[in-house]
Chain A
Amino acid sequence: ILNVEQSPQSLHVQEGDSTNFTCSFPSSNFYALHWYRWETAKSPEALFVMTLNGDEKKKGRISATLNTKEGYSYLYIKGSQPEDSATYLCAFGPDRGSTLGRLYFGRGTQLTVWP
């Protein structure tokens, strides 16, 4: 079982603060890195799927970077809002032939944004 680590485990910030989280994954046999947002009482929703070293993706105030050589990805939220409160999951996809498509999930970072 491959190890995907996310830090911090939880984070509390004030509205308007910018914040970032880290996802660490095995740097060998890399194929893809996914980020998902999971709001309470809802289903997880995909934010980004990244496959290339140096990839940077952006969706509104949220952006992500990817370093496959050292095995980490950062998720940034600029000017956090209460509606950003959620658990953010990262998931690593290895390049292993028949296992293409399966993901290994981290435990998530739980973000709470206070008004």
Chain B
Amino acid sequence: DGGITQSPKYLFRKEGQNVTLSCEQNLNHDAMYWYRQDPGQGLRLIYYSQIVNDFQKGDIAEGYSVSREKKESFPLTVTSAQKNPTAFYLCASSRTTGGETYEQYFGPGTRLTVT
């Protein structure tokens, strides 16, 4: 079955440690996205990538980093510079071609807790 996987489902880290969240898709989608959800807030875009080896900052990129070395993979690193890293993180992907917009497909999410 095609889809998006995120691992792990739950992640616990000590303050000051960097942590990398995994996101893999086998939908052959060009575009991939990372969102963060906090209680009472909408999904906020952290980073997105429309093609391999290229990515753009979203609205809340500070304290995060990404890479896009393969089409299928878009890992997100939460660095120690992120002031409030505890949150629910969702990865998504979509087709993207010039002049068209397509629905996004979401992974199951990773809940990160930093203490």
Contacts and interface: CB of A to CB of B under 8 A. Distances in A.
A4 B44 CA distance: 12
B2 to A, nearest CB: 13
A46 B103 CA distance: 6
A94 to B, nearest CB: 10
Interface in B13-50: 31, 33, 35, 40-45, 48, 50
B63 interface: no
A105 B48 CA distance: 14
Interface in B30-85: 31, 33, 35, 40-45, 48, 50, 56, 58-59
30 contacts: A1-B59, A42-B108, A43-B4, A43-B90, A43-B106, A43-B107, A43-B108, A44-B104, A45-B106, A46-B103, A46-B104, A46-B105, A49-B101, A49-B103, A93-B101, A99-B56, A100-B96, A101-B48, A101-B94, A101-B96, A101-B101, A101-B102, A102-B33, A102-B56, A103-B104, A105-B42, A105-B43, A107-B40, A107-B42, A108-B42
Contacts of A106: 42
B52 to A, nearest CB: 15
Nearest to B37: A105
A46 B99 CA distance: 20
Contacts of B31: 101
Nearest to A108: B42
Nearest to A5: B42
A43 B102 contact: no
Interface string A28-57: 000110101000001111100101000000
B102 to A, nearest CB: 7
B101 A89 contact: no
